[in-house]
Amino acid sequence: MNVLITGGCGFIGSNLVKYIRKNRPEWKVVNLDKLTYAGNLENLSEFEGDPKHVFVRGDIGNPELVEHLIAQHSVDAIMHLAAESHVDRSILGPEVFVATNVLGTQRLLEAARSRGIKRFLMVSTDEVYGSLGPTGAFTEKSPLQPSSPYSASKTSADLISLAYHHTFGMDVIVTRCSNNYGRYQFPEKLIPLMVVNALHDKPLPVYGDGANVRDWLHVEDHCSALVTALEKGKAGEVYNIGGGAERKNIEIVKAILGLVGKPESLIKYVKDRPGHDRRYAIDPSKTKAELGWSPAHTFEAGLADTVKWYVDNPTWWERVTSGAYRQYFETQYRAR
């Protein structure tokens, strides 16, 4: 199997490349990533010189490049993760979210169609369903009611992918996953931001009343679900992925402070995120029943391991927060 992974230098993408190299060592991975602020090639430095991991810096919206890569590497399947992924950034500047997530995805689909790709896995999000009340969980049949420019752009990408199946007969699968946590997450998202701020004794900014709920999944469990969906999923189907770990934001922030031994006086309630979704919860029963997937990590153990990784790897996040991680591509790749 030769698989083109888009966004393979991001948080989930770099975990996915590692997961595949470890668990499907016979697969060749072509990693197409633009290296935006969120793309960190250093995450994959262990694969320097590995012929089964080919990194290419480029844009998913460049059909000539994508078609060339598909032909050059006899690509069988695409796992599409590349995106602008941060809700707060989409509120400050929505345009790039439409350019990358909507138009970029459509161009990628078109390049895949023209080259007869056997399977296209669209990595979508539970945010397409909007916000829940205090009870219930999203199923694959829940209405699509995205709230933010980010989630609206992901909903567009999700639906255009399904349209390529219904209209052109392309073999497309869509996965919709809940909030991921784990190693290599850019420290703008809740968990790594809170860890890094706590380690610096800086205030921990909790939006609104801190009672918004997210349903957390360890990133390695998301990776195992993606590989399972690619291998066993049915064309045209949507699969929800979630870990059954609903937590209020404030519970997580307090847990992090406990893990790093810092006082709760660092918590600072700040102005709420505009349009802030109150609660997400995923019902993954279809994915479990039809694909035989289930998560391996519990939230408490996974959070403790994740926090320990950030505590033990200050160089990683110091290079990310200072911007030094960007030099890696220049020195390791461009020089060749």
Give the residues lining the site for ligand NAD (CB under 6 A): 6-7, 9-13, 32-36, 38-39, 59-61, 81-83, 85, 100, 104, 123, 125, 154, 177, 179-180, 186
- Catalytic residue flag (residue 126): yes
Sign of the CA dihedral with 326 first, then 331, 335, and 336 last: negative
For residue 303, what is the enclosing H or E element?
helix 299-312
- Catalytic residue flag (residue 150): yes
10 interface partner picked from ligand DAU, ligand NAD, none, CB below 5 to 8 A per type: ligand NAD
Distance CA 19, CA 182 (A): 13
* β-strands 238-241, 172-177 pairing: parallel
Residue 277 CB, nearest distance to ligand DAU (Å)? Answer: 7
Contact with ligand DAU (CB under 6 A): which of 43, 85, 161, 228?
85
H-state helical runs in 101-241: 105-114, 149-168, 190-199, 219-232
The 259-298 contact track toward ligand DAU, x by CB under 6 A, reads: --------------x------x------------------
Residue with smaller CB distance to ligand DAU, 119 or 214:
214
Residue with smaller CB distance to ligand NAD, 15 or 197:
15
- The amino acid at residue 11 is F
- HSE (side-chain half, CA atoms, 13 Å) at 129: 24
* Shortest-Cβ-distance residue relative to ligand DAU: 125
Distance CA 245, CA 240 (A): 14
- Catalytic residue flag (residue 312): no
Residue with smaller CB distance to ligand DAU, 187 or 236:
187
For residue 249, what is the enclosing H or E element?
helix 249-260
Residues forming contacts to ligand DAU in the complex (CB under 6 A) are 85-87, 125-127, 178-179, 189-190, 193, 205-207, 212, 214, 249, 273, 280
